Each structure stands twice: as structure tokens, then as C-alpha cells.
Amino acid sequence: MDRLEVDVQDAFKSYGTACVLRGLSMAVHPGTIYALLGPSGCGKTTLLNCIIGRTSLDSGTIRLAVRRREDVGYMPQSIALYMMLNIHETLSYYGRVYGIEDEDIQVQAVKLSQLLELPPFHRIVDTLSGGQQRRVSLAVSLIHNPQLLILDEPTVGLDPILSESIWQYLMKLSTEQKKTIIITTHYIEEARHADKVGLMRGGILLCEEAPTDLMLKNNCDTMEAVFLKLSYIQEKNKDMDPPVMSSTNTSSSPFQKASIFKKSCFYAELVKNMFFVWRNKPMLIFLFGLPIVVTFLFNICIGHKVTGLSVAMLNKEVENGIADCDNFHYHGCNLSFPLGCRLVKTLQSNDVNLIEFDDMEEAHFAARKNNVWGIIEVPENYTAGMLNRLTNNLKTKDHNVEASSVNVWLDMSNQNIGNLLKLDIWNAYNAYMEMLYVDCGWPVEATRVPIKINKPIYGVVVPNLTHYASPAIILLLIFYLPMSYTIGVLVQEKVLGVLERSLVAGVTLTEVFLAHGAVQIILLGIQMSLSMYVLYSVYDSPFIGDPLTTALLLLLQGISGLAFGFFVALIFDEMKNATYAALGSCFTFFFLSGMVWPQAGIHYFLLWFKWLVPVAYSVESLRSLTAKGWPISHPIVMKGFISVAAWILAFCLFAQIILRFRKGSFTTT
Ligand SMILES: Nc1ncnc2c1ncn2[C@@H]1O[C@H](COP(=O)(O)OP(=O)(O)OP(=O)(O)O)[C@@H](O)[C@H]1O
């Protein structure tokens, strides 16, 4: 029996309930061109996918004379090229994936360029015409001079002259170099050039013969006529003896198991990723610009004193309201100066915009119209009441308590503004009272609340929200930037079919992840430095910890973002779904990270699930590192490191599980 280059026996393959290959057998001899013809949807691509190991058969066997992926050249139906690379980089990438030395790639690239009339090497693939891209795609499948060539519709959309020249080249390859070529095409007449034609319909081969023999046997002048005749016969007999799948006859991968890490593939991926980043200038600006813009905006917009808030003022103890306050001498133990005016002056010096009202009804109306954030009413006998209260202390009568109380109504619909105003009013009261006590030579301590807040153990006397939230903002940034970049790049590679093409060529997902990770770590280092510079140097967020430990925690957090992005990219094949997943997780992580509100205030039920958030423990850890200067051995800091490391491992494990579930959908068997 003749040795076969490709031998397919009783192949069955279904997608769900649709049976695409139904007991198909096919024999391809070495050094020949085999044209696989058939209508759209008859299963040609599925058959080729099974041959090259992109997916596996449900039943049946595929035997190849070649055992290594490097001996197969595959051109998919879609263009499946990296659009950002130029022609030379594209050919070099695939050449390296196949383990060819750079000098040999150069020689072969020049040869293919002449044969296929490729545009100049420096041209970026994205700028080429459809026909030019198809020729580059064909050159990619030939760059390593493979023994077996599998071409899925290489001539589709090409002009007849170019199609003819490609056929001539393929014929030369098979006759002179004894290469075996399997080619699918919709252009049935083109198949006359092949040594053997397989007419496929409804998942089976109607016949397998030399084109001239086929036409002779069927008494037809054209291949089209043969195909029509055989299709008609099959249609008539379709109910007779449908092929039955043998459950015992299962297929295994036709290729030798390759190692999961090859230096050449890693290097090819690494160089390709670097070119990708370098070519994509807008993306680069975004990647480096975003940390700067976010950290600057964060510091500019958050945690600052709110000034200029308007408040309605009804000062009933002076006849002409606030204007009268200017008529009194403010300083000294001047008890004829109405104390309400002291409150007014202190509030004004604190940038509260007091708007005078004579009538309480009007003041409320202004609050309802959102013109003021609250109303302050100083009673008619405020000063007398207050002095009486100060003098009589415990013996103060109720009417004096009433007279010495300033009434305040606040619009608390905005918690922050309401609380800030409340604080302004408390502070103004305390300030004017203290000043009065000093001016009159009374003991100042007597007016203070008898609780002494001493120098803080950590942090500053007046902490600010920016300092509190900065560890969360930097960690979330460092998590999300690599995550979104990874999702963007990998899902795009999947959509374009380039990831599959690389996997078919022998690249493993481990190499993809490591090469991608290596480039990401460089980007991450720059992003981290930029964010830290803005937060800790330009804006002076508290930093008394060890910079190296801090950088290590941030780096690990970045890698966990990268692993999460990889995991999401494996699950979703469409960009929009991956984006939804990223956005959904972003909001969840944002709230549970304790950025807006301390984690201790989160509902206890959710607190049980805090460990499910990859940034939850690291935020506390980073805060302790930077603001408290605790070492890595401190349990709180250590928890952050353990949590991030565990998440990296967990995401890698989840990715493995996804790969097992999705085996055959975009990974090679
Ligand atoms: N991953 C998949 N999941 C579900 N159905 C699929 C999948 N891939 C292919 N099919 C279905 O299998 C059938 C055969 O598809 P295939 O791509 O092999 O046909 P084809 O002969 O190559 O068609 P064409 O000439 O148009 O490329 C089609 O009905 C297609 O919808």
C-alpha cells in the first residue's frame, strides 16, 4: 500500500446537534496537490481544523506522515495577521516561532517576496490591500518551507492572474520539492490544476480522483458539471444507509506532544509584543498618561477644603443684621460687641458665604431653591443669654439656655457638604469663644471640651481623604491597567484569529502569557513609578515605609491584574463581553477595596467575602506600609502579600480550568 501524507478514516465531528463531518475518509499522497471542493458550510474548514489539530474529531482517525507542527504550513481562511507589524516583522515572527535562524528567515523572506510579488518589507500589514494581505498570509505559511501545506481558500478575493500565479507556484512546489498541498476553494474550475480532487458535500466525500479522470468517468466537460451530477446522485440517495459513528474509534492528536516552553517561541512573542506596543503610540500615551492624569486629578479634586458655600443668616440681635457688625470694635474684652457678630466674622473669615435674610420663611424658600445650604439664626438676646450662661454655668435658667443657643438648619441631602458646614459652624463657635476668653483673660481651657487629642501616633493632626484613599487608588490603577491591556490585546488577537494561528504554528499559551507578562512588567514599572511620583513626591501623601517592599507589593498586584486579564480573555471571545466583565469587576473591587469608605463599615455579610476581592487586603497592607512604616513581617502587611500571591496562583489555576473546558474551541489539541 502507498505511503500516505494525510490519511483520514471515518471522521465524525459535530457542533452541538449539527453533524458536520459524517464518516469522511480522505487519502492524500506525498508530493501531490489535493483540492478539497464543496459548497459553503459543507465542512471543509472543519476537516482542515481537525487535520492541523485546531480541534479534535468526535470519532475516527487522522494520520499524518509528519509528526511535528514545524513540518506543517497553515493558511487560515481569514487573513489572521498582526495588523500593526510590517511584512518583515510578520515573516520574522512566524520564522522564529518555527525555530528558524534569523539569517535563514531573511533568505526565505526575500525568496517568497519575489515569488508572491509582495509589497516592500517595511509596509505595515494594516495598510495593505486585501489581496496583498492574503499573499503575505500565504508567505507566512511557507516561511519555514514545510513538507505539508494546508491552505484554506488562499485565492478567495484575488484577481484571476494572481490566483493563477499562486497555483503555478504551488504546482512547482509539489513537483520540484515534493511538497504535499491540501487546498480548499470555491472556484471549482481552478481545481483542474490539482493532482486529486475531493468533492465534499454534507460532511462526506462524494469522490476522490484526478480531475481529468473525474470528468471522463462522469462524461462531463467541466468540473462544475461533475460536481452538479454527483451532488444530484447524492441527494437522491441521501436516505440510504446514513453513516454510523463508531463509539470505540476515537482520534488523538496527529502531532507529537511539544514542550510547553520553547525559547524561540517566547522570543518571537516577546519581539512581536514589543513592536506592537511601540507601533501603537496612542495606546502607549494612554498607558502612561492615565496613571499621571488619574493621580493628578485625584489629588486636585479630592480631600480639599470646600469653600464659598452659601448659608442664610438671620442675625436677630442687631437691628440692621450683618452690616451692623462692622460698627463694633471686634478685638479686646469688648462685651458690648454682640457675640453673634463674632460668630458671623469667624464664619466669614472661614470662607462661608453668609447671605442675610430678615424672614425665616424666605430663608427656607432659598434653601428649597438650592440657593443656600443651610440657615443660621442668632436669637435676639444671644449675647445677654450667653454671658448669663457663662457666668451662672450650672445655675443657668432655661430661658437663658434658649437665648444663648444659635439655631441651625442644614441641607443634609449632601452628606459631605452638610458635615463640612456643621464642622465650620462648630469651629467658628470654638474659635470666637477661645478668642473672647483670651481677650478677657479668662482660662481658655474652661471653654474647651475636656478631651485632649494629643499628637497622633501615626499620620497627621488633620488627616485628609486624599491620604486615606491614595493606597487604594494606586493599587486599583496598578491592577486595572495591566488587566485592561491584557484583555484588549488578547481578545483582539482571538477575534483576528492570530492567536489561533500562532497556537497552530506551535506557540503555547504559557509562552503567550510569559512574553506578554514580560512586556507588561516593563510597562508596569513605568506606570508604577509615575503614579508613585505624583502621589508621594508631588503631592506628599504619607510615605514612611520601605520603598522596595512597597514596589514589590505593587508589582505583585500588577501581575495579579495581568493574570486576571488573561483569565477573562480566555473566557470571552468577544470584546464587548470581556469589556462588560472588566467593568463589572471594576465597580465591585472599587467598593470592597475600602477606597470610599473604611472596610470596617462594610456589612458583615459582605466582609466574609472580602477575601474574594484581589485588592482588599493589599490596600490595608499598602496603607500600613506607607503611612505606618510597618515591615513586611507585620501580620497586616504580610496578609496583603499572601492575598495577592494567592490571587495570582488562583487566576492561573482558573485559566487552566477554562482551557480544559474550552479545549478545541481556540486551543490546539
Ligand atoms: N465552532 C463552531 N461552532 C458551531 N458550528 C460551527 C463551528 N464551526 C463551524 N460550524 C458549522 O459547521 C458547518 C461547517 O462549517 P465549515 O466552516 O467547516 O464549512 P466550510 O465548508 O469551510 O464553509 P465555507 O466554504 O463557507 O468556509 C457550518 O454549518 C458551520 O456553521
**Beta strands across the sheet bearing 310-315:** 353-356, 310-315, 374-378, 407-410
pLDDT for residue 667 is more than 60: no
Q: pLDDT (tens digit, 9 = 90+) per residue, 434-482?
A: 999 998 899 998 888 888 889 989 888 877 888 888 888 899 899 999 9
Residue of minimum CA distance from atom 2 in ligand 1 = 15
What share of the chain in percent tops pLDDT 70?
96
In 130-246, which residue ranges form alpha helices assigned H by DSSP? 130-142, 160-176, 211-217, 223-236
pLDDT at 668: 46
pLDDT at 669: 46
pLDDT for residue 249 is more than 90: no
Confidence of residue 238 (pLDDT cuts 50, 70, 90): low
Amino acid at 420: L
Of 12, 15, 573, best ligand 1 pocket probe by most atoms within 8 Å of the beta carbon: 15
Whole-number Å distance between alpha carbons of 430 and 12: 86
Whole-number Å distance between alpha carbons of 194 and 167: 9
User: Which atom of ligand 1 is closest in space to residue 43's alpha carbon?
Assistant: 18
Q: pLDDT (tens digit, 9 = 90+) per residue, 511-566?
A: 999 999 999 999 999 999 999 999 889 988 888 889 999 999 999 999 999 999 99
ipTM of the complex: 0.97
Question: Half-sphere exposure of residue 283, counting CA atoms within 13 Å on the CB side?
Answer: 16
Q: Assign 3-state DSSP to the chain and report helix, strand, coil percentages, each to 5.
A: 55, 10, 30
CA 300 to chain centre: 26
CA 80 to chain centre: 22
**Beta strands across the sheet bearing 18-28:** 18-28, 6-15, 59-64
Residue of minimum CA distance from atom 5 in ligand 1 = 15
Mean pLDDT for the chain overall: 89
Q: pLDDT (tens digit, 9 = 90+) per residue, 566-593?
A: 999 999 989 999 989 888 888 888 888 8
541 touches 459 (CB < 8 A): no
**Could you tell me the distance, in angstroms and rounded to a whole number, from the CA of residue 15 to the centre of ligand 1?**
9
User: Which atom of ligand 1 is closest in space to residue 77's alpha carbon?
Assistant: 27
Q: Which residue has the cell 502621589?
A: 535
pLDDT for residue 144 is more than 80: yes
Contact 44 CB / ligand 1 (< 6 Å): yes
What share of the chain in percent tops pLDDT 90?
54
Contact 15 CB / ligand 1 (< 6 Å): yes
CA distances from 527 to 276, 320, 587 (A): 18, 60, 21
Whole-number Å distance between alpha carbons of 441 and 437: 6
**Whose CA is closest to 54, among 637, 636, 501?**
501
Residue of minimum CA distance from atom 30 in ligand 1 = 41
Q: Which is more confident, 665 or 474?
A: 474
Of 20, 37, 49, best ligand 1 pocket probe by most atoms within 8 Å of the beta carbon: 20
Residue of minimum CA distance from atom 13 in ligand 1 = 41
pLDDT at 25: 92
Q: Which residue has the cell 488573561?
A: 566
Q: pLDDT (tens digit, 9 = 90+) per residue, 11-24?
A: 999 988 888 999 89
Residue 441 zone, left/alpha/beta (φ > 0; ψ -120 to 50; rest): left
Residues 605-622 have a mean pLDDT of: 87
Query: What's this model's pTM, rounded to 2 decimal places?
Result: 0.81
> Which of 187-191, 310-314, 656-660 is modeled with the greatest confidence?
310-314
Contact 17 CB / ligand 1 (< 6 Å): no
Q: Which is more confident, 162 or 576?
A: 576
DSSP 61-105: EEEES--SGGGEEEE-SS----TTSBHHHHHHHHHHHTT--HHHH
pLDDT for residue 202 is more than 50: yes
**Could you tell me the distance, in angstroms and rounded to a whole number, from the CA of residue 41 to the centre of ligand 1?**
5
pLDDT for residue 241 is more than 80: no
Residue of minimum CA distance from atom 26 in ligand 1 = 40
Contact 40 CB / ligand 1 (< 6 Å): yes
CA distances from 475 to 180, 543, 618, 664 (A): 55, 15, 8, 36
Residue of minimum CA distance from atom 24 in ligand 1 = 40
DSSP 260-284: S--HHHHHHHHHHHHHHHHH-HHHH
User: Which atom of ligand 1 is closest in space to residue 48's alpha carbon?
Assistant: 18
Of 14, 17, 45, best ligand 1 pocket probe by most atoms within 8 Å of the beta carbon: 45
**Could you tell me the distance, in angstroms and rounded to a whole number, from the CA of residue 16 to the centre of ligand 1?**
12
**Could you tell me the distance, in angstroms and rounded to a whole number, from the CA of residue 576 to the centre of ligand 1?**
23
HEC assignment per residue over 24-46: EEEEECCCCEEEEECCCCCCHHH
Residue of minimum CA distance from atom 17 in ligand 1 = 45
HEC assignment per residue over 547-606: HHHHHHHHHHHHHHHHHHHHHHHHHCCCHHHHHHHHHHHHHHHHHHCCCCCCHHHCCHHH
Contact 144 CB / ligand 1 (< 6 Å): no
**Whose CA is closest to 194, among 173, 220, 218?**
173
pLDDT at 665: 53
Q: pLDDT (tens digit, 9 = 90+) per residue, 346-384?
A: 999 888 999 999 899 999 999 999 999 999 999 999 999
Residue of minimum CA distance from atom 7 in ligand 1 = 15
The beta strand positions in 344-423, using DSSP E, are 353-356, 374-378, 407-410
Of 24, 46, 183, 187, best ligand 1 pocket probe by most atoms within 8 Å of the beta carbon: 46
Whole-number Å distance between alpha carbons of 535 and 471: 9
